[in-house]
């Protein structure tokens, strides 16, 4: 039997079936070869893969996952240039600790982070308040209303030509934002329906090629997220506004939590770093210390 070999990017993976798009734009339905499963190499959306298709066969096989630039477990995606962390100004109440966790995981994976505050039409004051908390914490937050279109142009410019994943709480408006950005028609759902069904409207990750050579990745929201386990002293390295003061504390290394003569705590006291963002950092730090101690249990 003749076989053809190809390479492509995984757009979606559901129930062990993957859709990959090759350079010509053709899509292929693939399954993972047994050897990948034995190696516990589970392909992720965004992976570049090599595949084999038997002549006349509808479905091919993924033979190899090409080296990854980066990868995340939640959401389970690979080779992302930028992660847009989407929070709603209202409805649902923004969970900024969840947003911080997403940012930490992305930064540790070497992925750029862009905070997007959506639903500004519902509560503009709250949206600006959230943006203030992230002063110095990476690029300026982008405030949008996916419903009215306000700010969407600025976000489109920021994501242009890159592979961008939107991640965040269920109901924050990730799918609605992608629809507004690119004139698409992804399924969206109001909060009462989500609660009724007890789950997300978007149920799997999906990578969508868009005009201008970029790709956008819609992900299911979640309400709980654990940060990966790592040495707690590294946590501060994922907070740009803390890293900016690195080396200026009396104690070295400094956790920037309760140490005396800590440059970060002094910046918080002067109002240069937001106290709520710092308090959430301390909360994650305590959690990470606990999990680091328990890591062999």
Ligand X SMILES: Nc1nc2c(ncn2[C@@H]2O[C@H](COP(=O)(O)OP(=O)(O)OP(=O)(O)O)[C@@H](O)[C@H]2O)c(=O)[nH]1
CB nearer to Zn ion: pick between 154 and 244? 244
Contact of residue 206 among Mg ion, ligand X, Zn ion, none (CB under 5-8 Å per partner type): none
User: Token pair for residue 127?
Assistant: 């949206």
Residue 80 Cβ, how far from ligand X at the closest point, in Å? 17
Q: How far apart are the first and last CA of the chain?
A: 51
What is the C-alpha R_g of the chain? 21
C-beta separation of 103 from 116 below 8 A: no
The helix/strand/coil state of 174 is helix
Q: Which of residues 149-178 bind ligand X (CB under 6 A)?
A: 170-176
- In the bound state, the residue with its beta carbon closest to ligand X is 221
* Of 242, 258, 260, residue with least CA distance to 250: 260
CB nearer to ligand X: pick between 176 and 238? 176
Distance CA 79, CA 72 (A): 9
Residue 48 Cβ, how far from ligand X at the closest point, in Å? 26
The helix/strand/coil state of 153 is helix
Residue 279 Cβ, how far from Zn ion at the closest point, in Å? 15
Residues 10-49, mask of contacts with ligand X (x by CB under 6 A): ----------------------------------------
Residue 189 Cβ, how far from ligand X at the closest point, in Å? 5
Q: Determine which helix (DSSP H) or strand (DSSP E) holds 289, and give its type and residue range.
A: helix 275-293
**On the CB side of 283, how many CA atoms lie within 13 Å of its CA?**
12
Q: Which of residues 243-262 bind Zn ion (CB under 5 A)?
A: 249, 254, 256, 262
Using CB under 6 A, list all residues that contact ligand X. Answer: 118-119, 121-122, 145-147, 170-176, 188-190, 194, 200-202, 220-221
């Amino acid at each position: 039997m003749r076989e053809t070999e190809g390479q492509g990017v995984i757009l979606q993976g559901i129930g062990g079936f993957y859709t990959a798009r090759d350079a010509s734009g053709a899509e292929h339905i693939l399954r993972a070869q047994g050897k990948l499963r034995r190696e516990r190499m589970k392909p992720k959306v965004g992976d570049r893969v090599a595949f084999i298709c038997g002549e006349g066969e509808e479905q091919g096989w993924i033979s190899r996952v090409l080296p990854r630039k980066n990868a995340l477990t939640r959401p389970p995606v690979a080779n992302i240039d930028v992660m847009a962390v989407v929070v709603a100004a209202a409805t649902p109440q923004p969970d900024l600790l969840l947003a911080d966790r997403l940012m930490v995981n992305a930064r540790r994976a070497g992925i750029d982070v862009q905070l997007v505050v959506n639903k500004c039409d519902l509560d503009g004051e709250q949206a600006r308040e959230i943006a203030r908390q992230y002063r110095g914490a990476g690029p300026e937050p982008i405030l949008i209303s996916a419903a009215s279109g306000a700010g969407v142009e600025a976000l489109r410019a920021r994501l242009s030509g890159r592979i961008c994943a939107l991640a965040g709480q269920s109901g924050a408006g990730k799918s609605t934002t992608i629809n507004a950005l690119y004139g698409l028609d992804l399924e969206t759902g109001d909060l009462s329906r989500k609660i009724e069904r007890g789950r997300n409207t978007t149920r799997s990750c999906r990578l969508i090629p868009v005009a201008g050579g970029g790709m956008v990745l819609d992900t299911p929201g979640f309400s709980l997220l654990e940060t990966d386990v790592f040495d707690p002293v590294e946590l501060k390295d994922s907070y740009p506004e803390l890293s900016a003061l690195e080396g200026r504390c009396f104690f070295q290394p400094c956790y920037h939590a309760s140490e005396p003569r800590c440059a970060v705590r002094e910046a918080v006291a002067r109002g240069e770093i937001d106290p709520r963002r710092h308090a959430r950092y301390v909360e994650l730090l305590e959690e990470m210390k606990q999990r680091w101690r328990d890591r062999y249990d």
